[in-house]
Amino acid sequence: MPSSPLSTAQAARAEIARRLDQLRQDAGLTGLDLAVRCGWSKSKSSRIGRGITTPSDDDIRAWCVACDSADQADDIIVAARSAESMYTHWRQLHRRGMRHVHRKTTPLYQDTRLFRVYTSNLIPGMLQTRGYATGVLRAITDFQQTPDDVDQAVEARLTRSRVLYEGDHRFALLIEESVLHHLVCEESEMVEQLTTLMSVMRRPNVSLGIMPMRKRRPVWPLEAFYIFDDSLVAVETLTAEINVKAPGEIRAYQRAFAQLSEGAVRGAQARALISEAIRLLG
């Protein structure tokens, strides 16, 4: 199973610190020696070397020059930027509202050929109707206390979701049965969402599986994650989005998806679960 997405991001940062500290040791420098050469305090060298403080690009260059390893600076800077981009707080992403985030990720959706998506909390974003998406994004905005651009963000989400109907894209989607009952919008809007889900299931480029609540399962419920081809996994937590790019971690999520898929129902059985959710809404 995948490790904690937060632990993955922390491990990436720790690796940057390890590489820098190894350069210091290879150069035969103490923490004080390094601090003197860089013109900063010994405590700063210690914090960077132990992974407590995230170094800036300039910090990394100064460190490498001090260790007579200036040729390694660019590689470490690239790795450090990647580590930082792995873990981004939602409030930071949404500090100017949510519309620009949807627009920024639209090219990724357009370029992806195979989407593998597992959700344990909400209908996958690319399947959401206007009413459902409005309810979700309104709740997120209120919780995060970020700028209110819900209407524009919904339009951007619907535009991004055109990949479901346009181009050569395939979707393997898994959702927990409980998602069918999470009322994040008005009841009439939820009925519309579930009806749309039934319709989308018939598309030839979509495979939708539902994880029944009362069936023995091979894998426990996980945090929601989106696998984009074989190059990226986006993991969603309450406070942050984690972008996983390490091949070994991506394979772990692919394996988790495959095992979850074994416990899903499809076709008539899946439609029966959706129909029951609609019936309960009256």
Tell me: the pLDDT tens digits for 28-56? 999 999 999 999 999 999 999 998 888 99
Question: Whole-number mean pLDDT of the chain?
Answer: 92
Question: What is each CA distance from 226 to 73, 97, 150, 210, 223, in whole angstroms?
Answer: 32, 22, 22, 16, 10
Q: Is 49 exposed, middle or buried (0-12, 13-18, 19+ CB in 10 A)?
A: buried
pLDDT at 9: 65
pTM above 0.95, yes or no: no
Q: Which residues contact 242 (CB under 8 A, 6 or more apart)?
A: 5, 6, 8, 9, 86, 87, 88, 234, 235
Question: pLDDT tens digits for 75-120?
Answer: 888 778 777 667 677 777 888 889 998 999 999 999 999 999 999 9
- What whole-number distance in Å separates Cα of residue 275 and Cα of residue 173? 18
What domains does the chain contain, in order, with CATH numbers?
Answer: 5-87 (1.10.260.40), 94-280 (3.30.870)
**Amino acid letter, residue 169:** H
